Amino acid sequence: MALTLRSSTSFLSPKDTIGLKTPNHHELFSSSSICFGQTKPIRAKNNSIIQATTHHQISHETVFTSVENKHHHAFTSSSPHATKHDTRVPVFVMLPLDTVGHGGHLNKPRAMNASLMALKSAGVEGIMVDAWWGLVEKEGPLKYNWEGYAELVQMAQKLGLKLQVVMSFHQCGGNVGDSCSIPLPPWVLEEISKNPDIVYTDRSGRRNPEYISLGCDAMPILRGRTPIQVYSDFMRSFRDRFSDYLGDVVVEVQVGMGPCGELRYPSYPESNGTWRFPGIGEFQCYDKYMRASLQASALGIGKKDWGKSGPHDTAKYSQFPEESEFFKRDGTWNTDYGQFFLEWYSKKLLAHGDDILAAAQGVFRGTGAKLSGKIAGIHWHYNTRSHAAELTAGYYNTRHQDGYLPIAQMFGRHDAVFNFTCMEMKDGEQPEHANCSPEGLVRQVKRATKLARVELAGENALERYDSSAFGQVLNTSRSDSGNALCAFTYLRMNKRLFEPENWRNLVEFVRNMSEGGRHKRICEEFDFSGSELYVGLVKANSVNKAKEAALV
């Protein structure tokens, strides 16, 4: 099975946008249950009873600091100045996408509390949650509801867990692994129905409603406000509501900058069969705002014809580089025109990220919360000359061009952590025809962030529970080939994570990360035979409550 990344949502055809309806406010999510197995004590080989998941302090002055003063950064600059002994990496765990429901309340709080107690007992540093634009500001412009998130923050504080909160300005639903649907706010969807050009558009005229097009970042298209202003107001509201927790409980704010929260174009939408792995994707530059920018750039260098449209010789979403004149080995990408277009396309994306991070820095400066942003791990066709799949996503990374150093440098200007995915992937797991190299891509990003003196954090791209994936993350967390990781966020907490073997793998992984990989396998020290699950800090009544409650 090919290991791919979470991809963008489905397109709307031009005619679909005419009567675009807002979602039903009373729509409810469906959810499943998590259960803890019957717990048994774990015995060491000498038969003495031990608590295998006793909480380990995860702290090191150059990797992660426990925040005593709310005005201190959550992360210190481990990567640029790390010594050979600085190898500890704090582990966070992503919560379910529907942690806060459509009604604005925390879903299944009893089960959530029991689950967080289990994570705490395993030595996990904290959790990550999406703060959905489509939930918080759904009642109208500047009308915010943070109550469900307040419940979660207070729960985390009581348990001694830290929080990474994602400012999620994209739609949830239609992506790999998405278990629920959270569209953009209804009042935003109304504006899209009036002016479909404010969302990304491909060359066939299909619209993608997952995220507002960066082409109109400076246009007052959202009832008198620009998208950047709307994002700034949202973040300011969050800051004001949680000012007492920033830098102490809420240690990181990850700023969403595109589809799936990643700084990229929605070039590979998987829903409805639009794109299939390992297709190269398509450029997303055909809304009127992006076309106007392209025309202006072409006129600026005296090449009017270059600004009439995007490249005419690219292939379709699911095709391969060699099926396109633009992306083939010595194709148009490697000509003066190709260089002009790719520089314009990628610089627009960089400017978008720069503007949003500048706004976020202005909002959160002095709060003690660290900023971060996410970059997609587009590893397919990495071993080709053109790196076509990266190009359509907006990363100008080819055989001759480093596309990640400019992004890292931009992150550095705002003191933001560079968060990267696919840390768990191995080259040997990928299909040969896809020309993948997730390991080569991770090495390149590690070198780029080290050169830019930017902190690097990681995530797994897909839900993996096996020791092989955890071992790969442990290997890539080190500084052997560039930057070491300052933190790792595991995707994701659900009932499968608490299955006996998966849970043991997680406990072992967290311990290895917190102790710098000095303990290769917990199973070498402890006998897990006959044990389904043991959670050191979860009392028996908490386990019973978890059996009764539901959470995914």
For residue 429, the domain's CATH number is: 3.20.20.80
What pLDDT does 173 receive?
82
What pLDDT does 507 receive?
97
Distance CA 66, CA 57 (A): 10
What pLDDT does 31 receive?
38
User: Running along the chain, 552 residues long, what does each successive block of 10 average in pLDDT?
Assistant: 43 45 36 39 35 35 34 40 62 97 96 98 98 98 98 98 98 71 97 98 96 98 98 98 98 98 96 92 98 98 97 96 97 98 98 98 98 98 98 97 98 98 97 98 97 98 96 93 94 97 98 74 36 35 40 44
- Report the helix count and the strand count for the chain, using DSSP H and E: 14, 13
What pLDDT does 270 receive?
86
Do strands 207-212 and 485-490 pair parallel, antiparallel, or not at all (unpaired)? unpaired
Provide the number of structural domains found in the chain. Answer: 1
Distance CA 102, CA 107 (A): 10
Annotated binding site for substrate: 130, 170, 178, 374, 379, 421, 460-461, 492
Distance CA 16, CA 13 (A): 5
How far, in Å, are 237, 270, 352, 443 from residue 95 at the CA level? 22, 23, 27, 28
- Is residue 539 domain-resident? no
Q: Which residues pair with 126 in a beta bridge?
A: 92, 162
Closest CA to 256 of 394, 130, 406: 130
List active site positions. Answer: 262, 459
- Is residue 292 domain-resident? no
- Is residue 254 domain-resident? yes
Annotated binding site: 130, 170, 178, 374, 379, 421, 460-461, 492
Q: What is the dihedral of CA 246, 250, 254, 260, to 10 degrees?
A: -140
What pLDDT does 86 receive?
54
Those residues whose C-beta lies under 8 Å from the C-beta of residue 83, and which sit 6 or more positions away, are 62
Distance CA 494, CA 109 (A): 14
Distance CA 458, CA 502 (A): 20
- Is residue 66 domain-resident? no
- Is residue 433 domain-resident? yes
Phi, psi dihedrals of residue 301, rounded to the nearest 5°: -110, 15
Question: What is the three-class DSSP state of 100?
Answer: strand
What pLDDT does 12 receive?
52
What's 249's DSSP letter?
A: T
Question: What is the three-class DSSP state of 142?
Answer: coil
Q: Which residues pair with 225 in a beta bridge?
A: 222
How many Cβ atoms sit within 10 Å of the Cβ of residue 520?
11
What pLDDT does 208 receive?
95
Closest CA to 373 of 455, 300, 276: 455
Question: What is the three-class DSSP state of 513?
Answer: helix
Identify whether the C-beta of residue 492 lies closer than 8 Å to the C-beta of residue 67.
no
Structural tokens at position 192: 């899209």
- Is residue 284 domain-resident? no
Structural tokens at position 25: 């406010």
Residue numbers of the domain that contains 414: 91-198+208-277+353-515
Q: Which residues pair with 75 in a beta bridge?
A: 64
Distance CA 310, CA 203 (A): 8
- Is residue 507 domain-resident? yes
What pLDDT does 42 receive?
36
DSSP-derived secondary structure for 385-423: SS-HHHHHHT---BTTB-SSHHHHHHHHHTTEEEEE--T
Do strands 126-132 and 91-94 pair parallel, antiparallel, or not at all (unpaired)? parallel
- Is residue 173 domain-resident? yes
**Predicted structure pTM score:** 0.83
What pLDDT does 3 receive?
43
Those residues whose C-beta lies under 8 Å from the C-beta of residue 544, and which sit 6 or more positions away, are none
pLDDT tens digits for range 20-41: 444 333 333 333 344 434 333 3
Closest CA to 143 of 203, 197, 223, 65: 223
Sign for the pseudo-dihedral over CA of 13, 17, 18, 21: positive
Identify whether the C-beta of residue 152 lies closer than 8 Å to the C-beta of residue 101.
no
What pLDDT does 87 receive?
76
What's 220's DSSP letter?
A: -
The contacts found for 64-71 with CB under 8 angstroms, 24 or more apart, are 64/88, 64/89, 64/90, 64/125, 64/486, 64/487, 67/247, 67/248, 67/251, 67/368, 69/247, 69/368, 70/246, 70/247, 70/248, 70/367, 70/368, 71/247, 71/366, 71/367, 71/368
Q: Which residues pair with 375 in a beta bridge?
A: 420
